[in-house]
Amino acid sequence: MNTKHKYIVITPVRDEALYIERTLESVSRQTILPSQWIIVDDGSVDGTGEILDIHAAQTGWIKVIHRENRGFRAAGGGVMEAFYAGYSVLNDEDWDFIVKLDGDLSFSPDYFEQCFKIFDAEQELGIGGGTICRLENGQLKVDSEGDPQFHVRGATKIYRRACWEKINPLVKASGWDTIDEVKANLHGWTTRTFADLNLVQHKPTGGAEGFWRDRFKNGRANYITGYHPIFMLAKCVKRALRKPFILESIALLAGFCTGYLKGIPQVKDVEAIRYLRQQQIRFLLRQPGIYGQP
C-alpha cells in the first residue's frame, strides 16, 4: 500500500449484474489498491448483490451493504442516499482521497496511480477524474464531450480530503455532481476532467431512463442546481444543432421549466447558486471563469 495515496472508494449500484464484474476486476488490478472499498447494493433484483457478496468474501478490503429495494430507480437523490449509506460505515478515518465510482466502468490498472500523479502536481486541484468514454463499433468515443471545463462526471469523482471537508455533505438531489464542483471552486479549489485518462462506461449514459427521460432529468438537475435561465436558454439553443435535432433541447427545457412550475426546491445554498450564475453570465459575456474562455 502506498500510504502517500491512501484512498477509499464508495460505489452505489443498482441492477448492474451485466457490468459490475468489469469494475470489480478493474479496481482489484490497480497498482495502488484502495484501503477500503464500500459497495452499496441499492435494492438490486438482478443478482448484483450475490455477485458482490462472492467477491467481498474473497477480498478483505471490500465491504458490501445491501439496502432494501424501494421499487424504483431514484436518479440523483437515490444515488447520494446510497453513497452516504456507504460513507456512514467507514471504519478507516486515515485517508487522503475519497472516490465516488460507478459500477459499470472499466479502466487501466494504473488509473488511480496516474490520477494521483496529477493531484500531486496540482496542489490546488480539489476534484478530478478521468474521461468517460463508450465503445461504438469497437472504437472508443468520448461520452463527456461538450461538458464544461470544470466538470467531472459523477461516474468517477476523486475528492482531495481538504476539499472534501469544505464541501461535504454533497447534495442529495439531481445536480449533486455539479454543485459539488461549484462549491469547491467557490472555496478556491480547481476541478477538472483528465483528458488523457480514459474509463469505459459499458452502460450508456442515461441508459436506464431512455433518451427523453434522461435529457428531461438533466434539465431538471440544471434547475435544481440553480442555472441562470438565460444561460439555460443559450444552452438549449446550442444543443438544438445536435442530433436528434431540437428534441434534446425540448427535453432539457421541459425539465428545467417544469421545475419552476411545480415549485420544486432548488439547492439550499444561496452563495453557491449566486456564484454559479455569475460564472455563467461571465461565460456568455466571453469573460474567463470556471467555464473557460468561450
Q: pLDDT at position 91, please?
A: 84
**Residue 204 preceded by cis peptide, ω within 30:** no
Q: pLDDT at position 293, please?
A: 67
Residues 100 and 230 both lie in one domain: no
Our count of domains for the chain comes to 2
Residues 13 and 127 both lie in one domain: yes
C-beta of residue 164 within 8 angstroms of C-beta of residue 170: no
Q: Which tens digit of pLDDT belongs to each residue from 109-144?
A: 999 999 999 999 999 999 999 999 998 888 889 986
Residues 153 and 268 both lie in one domain: no
Residues 139 and 260 both lie in one domain: no
Q: Which tens digit of pLDDT belongs to each residue from 7-17?
A: 999 999 999 99
Residues 188 and 273 both lie in one domain: no
The answer to whether residue 108 scores a pLDDT higher than 90 is yes
Residues 162 and 264 both lie in one domain: no
C-beta of residue 276 within 8 angstroms of C-beta of residue 227: yes
Q: What is the mean pLDDT of residues 266-278?
A: 96
Last residue of a domain, one of 143, 170, 201: 201
Residues 34 and 157 both lie in one domain: yes
Residues 197 and 218 both lie in one domain: no
Please report whether residue 289 resides in a domain. Answer: no
Q: pLDDT at position 78, please?
A: 87
Residues 41 and 140 both lie in one domain: yes
Last residue of a domain, one of 146, 166, 201: 201
Q: Which tens digit of pLDDT belongs to each residue from 15-53?
A: 999 999 999 999 999 999 999 999 999 999 999 999 999
CATH number at residue 108: 3.90.550.10
Residues 30 and 156 both lie in one domain: yes
- For the beta carbon of residue 95, count every other beta carbon within 10 angstroms: 17
The answer to whether residue 208 scores a pLDDT higher than 60 is no
| Listed range (28-32, 59-63, 205-209) with the worst mean pLDDT | 205-209
C-beta of residue 185 within 8 angstroms of C-beta of residue 150: yes
Q: pLDDT at position 294, please?
A: 58
The answer to whether residue 2 scores a pLDDT higher than 60 is no
Q: Which tens digit of pLDDT belongs to each residue from 214-269?
A: 899 999 999 999 999 999 999 999 988 877 779 999 999 999 999 999 999 999 99
Q: How confident is the model at residue 69 (pLDDT cuts 50, 70, 90)?
A: confident
Q: pLDDT at position 1, please?
A: 46
Residues 66 and 196 both lie in one domain: yes
Q: pLDDT at position 254, please?
A: 97
Q: Give the range of the structural domain holding residue 244, as residue numbers without chain letter.
A: 211-284
C-alpha distances (whole Å) from 209 to each of 52, 73, 289 are 24, 9, 33
Please report whether residue 278 resides in a domain. Answer: yes
Q: Which tens digit of pLDDT belongs to each residue from 135-194?
A: 888 888 998 667 899 999 999 999 999 999 999 999 999 899 999 999 999 999 999 999
Please report whether residue 154 resides in a domain. Answer: yes
Q: pLDDT at position 258, please?
A: 97
Residue 39 cell numbers, joined: 459497495
